[in-house]
Structure 1
């Protein structure tokens, strides 16, 4: 079965399992094994340290009923919240699209310039100058949308796959452009120092497949756990509200 879940990435040493330090994948695997649910799992996305998620996905093989599995996981995990499932048996890496959102506080940025920079990065490009990866650096970004609500700017990225640190480096470049730094298509050939945006405001919003997931509700105890700090509260704001069901990928 496939299980969709959220987590506060600021409380872990990254997503991928590591010895001797708590990671998102490592903690999930520990609970699965301790409760005799499954011995291994496959993940849709391995987010960087500090990056959170609302809709990452894992695949496990078990005879246990999905709601029972989710109940056990949510009762034994902290800062990780399972909320949806599908009975499809598919490698979660083979997703149709991944949606990331960067939450940017508006320090009087030129919104038109932010949107112009976003269009510059849409489509297929060799992003060798925007990643630490050194091979297979050609990626297609289907869409980057920029919108402002109150004092917050949401930058949404839609693509099937991404490169290491790509989104955070693109956000840094977009902010520099909106702040007055001029550049054009030459940035794909000429390396420029834009820096890298911090990881904490980046959230993996959802991972899309050619079938729906069944969304389940939240207990009062889980709701209380989810409002302990800002990011956990943000997870609850999205998942606990009606807006979550109206997201494009749901």
Structure 2
């Protein structure tokens, strides 16, 4: 048996999320369907983490074990020839059986795209959150500063999570504005369920003056989801990269 590490990109528009679920279309489901055809038996893949419905990925990572012997380029071609057009394997490499796509990860980077244009762009409706309001970027950058470092992010986590340890470290958050689009670039050692989207929603509220930047430490201290802002919609979120040891 050999273990393959794959980097996969996908357009999340027509998916209910990454994780396989009954009676809905998922990224895991589509990939495992292809692997089952190749192996003539069920093959389970293990991802760096789940992404929700409508969420996109440029650098999602998964691994699987196989007794089929092919070169990595052959694996890439074979998988892409059978996968639907909204899922593309960008690389395949052989790794040690000690490697695990989730547990070996050391950091993840997400981007969140916000369209600031007055009018909706029909070509971006599935790829950026339309938010046509004037923003105070200075206040937003001040708010971001309070989120950096290690904190208990319970206030920025969906109540639906089953995870009990809510302590995470955010290494950096950058705001990049260009051509009527604002991009949040967030990197940390891990993220809770909906954490990035709640951070974005809260910081946008600071940007329009609905709350003050100095409220962020208070929100963190409350450890209660009710005190943070709205959850930004999934279609603006992209998993860009996963780092490993």
Is the pair's TM-score, using the shorter chain for normalization, greater than 0.5? Answer: yes
Partner Cα separation in structure 2 for residue 161 and residue 57 of structure 1 = 14
* Equivalent-residue separation in structure 2 for 1:3 and 1:117 (angstroms): 36
Q: Deviations over 1:143-171 (max 9, x none)?
A: 11111122111111111211001010010
1:104 aligns with 2:114: yes
The answer to whether the aligner puts 1:2 opposite 2:5 as a matched pair is yes
C-alpha root-mean-square deviation of aligned residues, in Å? Answer: 1.6
- What TM-score results when the alignment is normalised by the length of structure 2? 0.81
- In the alignment, structure 1 segments of 5+ residues that lack a partner are 211-250
Which of the two has greater strand per residue?
2
Q: Which residue of 2 aligns with 1:153?
A: 182
Quick check: 1:138 aligned with 2:167? yes
Matches within 5 A, 1:1-250: 1-36=4-39, 39-62=43-66, 63-78=69-84, 79-89=86-96, 90-93=99-102, 94-106=104-116, 107-132=133-158, 133=161, 135-180=164-209, 181-182=211-212, 183-190=215-222, 191-210=226-245
Task: Please report the TM-score for the alignment, with normalisation by the length of structure 1.
Answer: 0.79
- SS of residue in 1 equivalent to 2:39: coil
Query: In the TM superposition, what is the alpha-carbon distance from 1:29 to its structure 2 partner?
Result: 0.5
Q: What CA distance in whole angstroms lies between the structure 1 residues aligned with 2:15 and 2:141? A: 32
For 2:228 and 2:108, the matched residues in 1 are separated by 27
CA shift, 1:20, in A, is 2.1
> Which consecutive unaligned segments of at least 5 residues does structure 2 have?
117-132
Q: 1:140 to 1:173 in 2, by over 3 A?
A: same
